[in-house]
Chains A and B, each alone.
Chain A
Amino acid sequence: MPKNEMPSGALVLLILRVLRSGPLHGYAIAQRIHSLSSEVLRVEEGVLYPALQRILLKGWVSSEWGISETNRKVRFYRLTPAGRKQLDAELSGYDRVHQAIQSILKTA
């Protein structure tokens, strides 16, 4: 999927959402989004890492060293309390917009 089809705001939301269930490394975040979207959404490296850097700067996630399933040292990203708050806010905002768009698409 070409990267410009997913607005970066949505990507941030998805990243925060998949991190809610626990810390993940970068590749796992991409994989999780890919599989959870029934392989519709593919997050490319060139989009994922800039987005992660922005989220790190915002303080919504923190990073820590861990060991991957392939036994390699890698950074895991964990949702911070601030990130959780941001996720809730974005979710409720997204729901409202989504419902509004849906209702237009159905009735118009």
Chain B
Amino acid sequence: MHELFRRLRYLLSRGRRDRELANDMEFHREMAAREGTRDPGNTLRLREEAREAWGWMWLERFGQDLRYAGRMLRKSPGFTLAAVLMLAIGIGVNVAAFGFFNFVLWRPVPVRDPGSLLRLERRSPDRFWSDMPYAEMAFFRDQSRTLSALLAQKEARLFVEGESKPARANFVTANFMSELGAHPVWGRVLDPGRDNAAGAEPVAVLSYGFWERHFGADPSVVGKTIRLNDKPVTVAGVVSREFSGLRMSEPDVWIALRQQPYFVAGSELLRNFAGDAGDSDRDGVNVWARLRPGFGPKAAEDELRLLARELRAQYPLAIWKNESIATTPGGFASIHGTERGSGTPKNKQAEVYRIVGLVGALTLLILAAACGNLGGLLLARGVTRQREISIRVSVGAGKGRLARQLFTESILLALLGSAAGLALGSALLRALVVFTDSPAWVSAAPDWRVICFAVGLGFLAAVLFGLTPALQGARQRHRGTIMRQFLIGAQVAASCVLLIVAGLLVRALNHALDSNPGFDVQHVISIDPGLDGHGYSPAAARAYLQTFQARLRGLPGVESVALASIAPLGHKTTSTGTEIGGRGIEIQVNHVDPAFFQTMRIPLLRGRNLQPGDTHAVVISQSLARLWPTGDPLGRPLTLDTNYTVVGVAGSARLTALQDPDSVEAYFLSSEPDLPSTTLVVKTAGLPESLVPLAASIAKDVDPKVFPEIQMLKTSFRLKLRDTEHSALAVSLLGATALLLACLGIVGLVAYAVSQRTKEIGIRVALGARSTHVLSIVLRQFFWPVAAGLVGGMAGGAALSQILRRDLYGISFLDPLTYAAAIGIFAVTVALAALAPARRALRVDPMLALRYE
């Protein structure tokens, strides 16, 4: 302990200590000379040996090396710039990807004490809901002792007067904003004391963004009355920019949940369980909870299971058998919408990590390509520095010392690259944040995690590209071509993988745009009135839908109108799991009327259409028919909740899972209880644009309280493709970057190979060698590493794109065209790039070459 302390003191005062030591030793020599003893040798070296006892020699040497490295890099600015640029690209892309995931996955949302928040979701052995009935939440709120508060939220679209685009509203429990520490910029936020009281006046709190966009950031709007869904409401305040709740997207207005029925006429969201017939289509709220200090999530889950059992004793229809409440950390922005289904839910975490893994692999490939490139450059540079190294060896530099010094240059390069990469990565991230319309609190400024990541990546890169050149340089062995060939191969492989993945995405996108998704996208609109949200009974819903249908049919250009429980390309899906031939499959379920297939232009391939009264008939898609283990599915039973008979086979139409080639569909006849949650689909002869406002005005006539969501399928289609478009663009950019890096690297290496063998080539030319022969001499050494890299790249591409299988719109992840194109593009580009420096070999003048050196 004391020794360490003394060592540190020596480090700080090492100038003075060194002078003292020098004085001692000088005196020693003076005395020795007086007595006539022999010369004690090199004093500087002796002093250095003595100083080594202080234990700071490595630091001094590192400082020396660093200064020397800095001088060397300044001496060749072209090389330094190229190297730092390459590293900046390699590291920057990774920093951007890491920074984004850092925000989405590891940074809690900026609310008060995010660590004690839990997200609550309903589970039972055979079904799952990500939301829960309001009454269940209220029961937990009143009974729980492990939770100090429950927060609930229901999202809705509310129409703003004079606006065609509806506003996104978050109906939240009155404690939601204060519990999460939201504070107002103007006015107030929701207050459990005032907004939860019976008969409280309806108020809205504006989000900062909506206030800016819609009210021009005018503070006088507070206290004014605005109309949402034609209902007057007072603006109570504007919440600060940082607050966007617990979701990744910021809503436009915040309103107390208690007021939801006021805006959504007839809503039964807040209804209690008394007299409840069942919960199959009951509306629900998303629920979060705050843990009471001293309790953990496990204790909360245990208690909630008991409470659910207690509640089931009172309402056996509403609460499931063996119901449990799954908790997950609630302080992170959730991206996923409301999900309900049977069986066990998809592992969201696994889904997220699948994406993280894929993106990480792609960006690390860029870094690998950059490192391979730089390694090749450094090896080549090592040769040109041969003279310098041999001088240093002859004046007594050890191999270890030399290697350390050469590696220090790489470290310095890597650190410069990290800094440049951090800047580039932050710029990319800023673009990404703007592009993805993220909430205001998502800032692109790097935090300590991102900085550590960038520096760590720099060191990793230094090891990857700098270690072998340093060792080889110090050993003065430059014929070690195996290493160079390996670097070329690795770089080629990494670039190929990127090109293949980019190619697959581009192919998938083109395929999706060109090919028929199995139904008419261009001429159909969907109308989702959301009658269940307004408390419509099945009979009332039937009347509403019939009136609406009749009015629509009367419009010019409308060819047919049909009903479907699931709007095509909408945000709601229903799937059910079953087994066919011992294989578990997930079927996309839709309840439709007989006009549906004609309206959507889905061909009936075999059998017959659904007919009125078909309670146990099902029409399956061709894709599902193909899964049938034996022969013809027609007339065979399909067992789901009950037994159905397959009466027809329709064309495959991926109405909900557009990008998933494995998706299979089944259509049942729409029945009376389904009607409140049914949507309309309308097919026109001409363009659907003119139909949208007409449908909206009809809706106003049929029931002014209901505000349907009207969508053109072609708009939804474009929206669905947007993700693939973005990823295809991003990966193509990465692929192009890798290709560029590979070209630069190969050009450098070929030029170097030519300069190395100028003399030999000169002799051959003098002896009459043909130009093709000369070219083959220069390029032969690159053939095998490039070929090996291409094969490795194909294998890597196949392995990586398997992850993408379900996102490729039916393009095989082994699509031969893509692979051939990627390899072809790569090979041709690199060959052309290599040819330029190789041709220099042909122009070698034999006489000059022989005089060379």
Are A68 and B27 interface neighbours, CB within 8 A?
yes
Contact B27 A53, beta carbon cutoff 8 Å: no
What 1/0 flags go to B21-58 for Cβ under 8 Å of A? 10111011111101000001100001101111111000
- Please measure, in the bound complex, the distance between the C-alpha atom of A50 and the C-alpha atom of B53, giving whole angstroms: 6
Residue in A27, A44, A53, A75 whose beta carbon sits within 8 Å of that of B31 in the complex: A27
Bin the interface of chain A by size: 20 to 34
Q: Please state if B40 and A57 are interface contacts (CB–CB under 8 Å).
A: no
Output the least CB separation between B38 and chain A (Å).
Answer: 10
Q: In the complex, what residues of A have CB within 8 A of residue B52's CB?
A: 50
Flag if A74 contacts B23 (CB, 8 Å): yes
B54/A30 in contact, CB under 8 A: no
A53 touches B24 (CB 8 A): no
Total contacting residues, chain B, CB less than 8 A: 28
Q: Is the Cβ of B50 less than 8 Å from the Cβ of A53?
A: yes
Give the complex CA separation of A70 and B32 in angstroms: 12
Q: Is the CB of A75 within 8 A of B53?
A: no
- Alpha-carbon separation in the docked complex, A51 to B582 (Å): 80
Is there contact, CB below 8 Å, between B25 and A45? yes
Interface of B, secondary structure class, is helix
A27 and B27 within 8 A (CB)? yes
Contact A50 B49, beta carbon cutoff 8 Å: yes
Question: Is B340 in the interface zone, CB < 8 Å from A?
Answer: no
Return A67 CB to nearest CB of chain B, in Å: 11
Neighbouring A residues of B41 by C-beta, 8 Å = 45-46
Q: How far is the CB of A7 from chain B (nearest CB, A)?
A: 16
Residue in B closest to A52 when the chains form the complex, CB atoms: B50
Q: Which residue of A lies closest to B40 (CB)?
A: A45
Evaluate contact between A45 and B7: CB separation under 8 angstroms. Answer: no
In chain A, positions 44-78 with a C-beta closer than 8 Å to chain B are 44-46, 48-54, 56-59, 63, 68, 70, 72-75
Q: Interface 1/0s, chain A 90-103, versus B by CB < 8 A?
A: 00000000000000
* 8 Å CB contact of B24 from A46, A49, A57: A49
Q: Which residues of B contact A30 (CB under 8 A)?
A: 28
B20-A75 in contact (CB<8A):
yes
B6/A57 in contact, CB under 8 A: yes
Interface status of B544 (Cβ within 8 A of chain A):
no
Q: How far is the CA of A86 from the CA of B776 in the complex (A)?
A: 74
On whether the beta carbons of A57 and B54 are closer than 8 Å, the reply is yes
* B218 located at the interface, meaning its Cβ lies under 8 Å from any Cβ of chain A in the complex: no
Q: Does B346 contact A (CB under 8 A)?
A: no
B 345-387 binary contact with A (CB < 8 Å = 1; else 0): 0000000000000000000000000000000000000000000
B717 located at the interface, meaning its Cβ lies under 8 Å from any Cβ of chain A in the complex: no
Instruction: Fill in one digit per residue for A7-39: 1 if any B CB lies within 8 Å of its CB, else 0.
Output: 000000000000000000111001000000000
Q: Closest 7 interchain pairs by CB?
A: A53-B53, A49-B50, A27-B31, A45-B40, A54-B53, A50-B50, A27-B28
Chain B residues packing against A (C-beta within 8 Å): 2-3, 6-7, 10, 20-21, 23-25, 27-32, 34, 40-41, 46-47, 49-55
21 A-B contact pairs sorted by A residue (CB < 8 Å): A26-B25, A27-B27, A27-B31, A27-B32, A45-B29, A45-B40, A45-B41, A46-B40, A46-B41, A46-B46, A49-B46, A49-B49, A50-B52, A50-B53, A53-B53, A57-B55, A59-B3, A63-B20, A74-B24, A75-B20, A75-B24
